[in-house]
Structure 1
Amino acid sequence: MSPKVSQEHKEKRRNEIIEAARTIFIKKGFELTTMHDVVEQSGMSRGGVYQYFSNTEDMMRAILDKGEAEFTGQKDRLYEKYTTSWAVLEAVADAHDHVTLDPIGLTIYEYFVAGLRGLNTGRVDYMKKRLETIKGFYIDVIEKGIADGEFNPVQKPEAIASYFIILADGIVLHRNLDREMADVKGLVEGLKIYLRATLNVK
């Protein structure tokens, strides 16, 4: 077997384990999921799973890292599609209205809330780093808008980026808690009203 095929095989097995973990996280929640659960769900041997992941913490981070990479990696693609920084921010905001609900959403909230309780100090550091990366995405877009003369903000880019995340996360949480909510569009519109006002969009 060539090294290329071997690497592809390893990646395939790793993704299969991640999907098995994801299935159990959705079903049982993060804290109640054990490595034994994931081994059973994956259909692999115990050693086969441990070859890739030492614990469920690593599995959850693999899921989160993949989502983060997909989000932050879309900036260039968004600028190819939209001509202004405001259009990019508006598109990201609008995505919270029509994006399909991810059933692992509440498990991710559970994971972060447990971390904030101090049950896992390493998780707190991971959360802070992840937040800074996502916030950096918004700051970059805002600063480009300022440089291009689109924005004349009344708050610092860091504060606007943080508030964007707070409002967007709140919308996602409400969507997961009340899937019949009729006014998600209104909440997204409120987010855009805040952004337009605080960025002072030209």
Structure 2
Amino acid sequence: MASFKRVSFAVTLLVIVFCAEANGSVMKLKIPEACHKEGFCSIKPEGYDKLEEKINRLLTPPLVKSFSDRIGQNPEPELSPEEDWHNCPYIKVLDSSYTFSYEMGNRTDTDIIIQTKLLSQPIETVKCAYEKINRGTQECFKHLQLHTYNMMSSCETSTVKRSLLIYDEKADMIKLKEYDIPCCCTCVVRNV
């Protein structure tokens, strides 16, 4: 009888441990320190490979098919041609980000962006190359002499909303979330 109690206790303990691991197995990513600042981060967090297996099981063919055109990566940033620098020079980067960090009240939250062998979501950003713009004024189309008409111009980075698939750890599901992505450098004209 005592031996049956020990076996019963051991089996119960194993079942509890197995259930705790199966139900509470939230994959903890080790987010690199450089990724704690706000915005996208292309450094692959430690533990992402194990999470990728779980994400691949959740990916359904319609999701993969609808996002499959987002393939490719250009490791070299592209600077606009120098002959266009009288307007607003830009720098274009195509990169794959694994996380997006943002301020939420008094804490920083991080979204896990899906980047797997089944589904790649490269993000193309286009920002003003401020280091190439006339120092101090950030003016564009200076040759138009807008100041004679009591107007001024400046180069500003514009954004566009783009949807990305993310993995929600708490719900253990894939979600679609919109982000503001820098898309171009525009010349904005204002009255003085």
Q: Which has the higher helix share?
A: 1
Q: Which has the higher strand share?
A: 2
- Larger relative contact order (Cα-Cα within 8 Å, sequence gap ≥ 6): 1
| Common topology (TM > 0.5) | no
TM-score by length of 2: 0.29
